[in-house]
Amino acid sequence: MNFTEMTAMYRKKVSKYTLNQCHWAIRDIHDTLQLQPSDIDHPYVKQLYCELDAVRERRDALSEGERWEVACRRASTTDET
Q: Decide if pLDDT at 81 tops 50.
A: no
In the prediction, which pLDDT does 36 show? 77
What single letter denotes the amino acid at residue 76? S
Q: How far is CA 31 from CA 10, 48, 77, in A?
A: 18, 11, 42
Domain count, the chain: 1
Range of the domain at 42: 3-80
pTM: 0.77
Q: 78: pLDDT confidence band, cut at 50, 70 and 90?
A: low
In whole angstroms, give the CA distance from residue 31 to residue 68. Answer: 31
In the prediction, which pLDDT does 50 show? 95
Q: How many other C-beta atoms lie within 10 A of the C-beta of residue 13? A: 14
Residue 46: DSSP 8-state: H
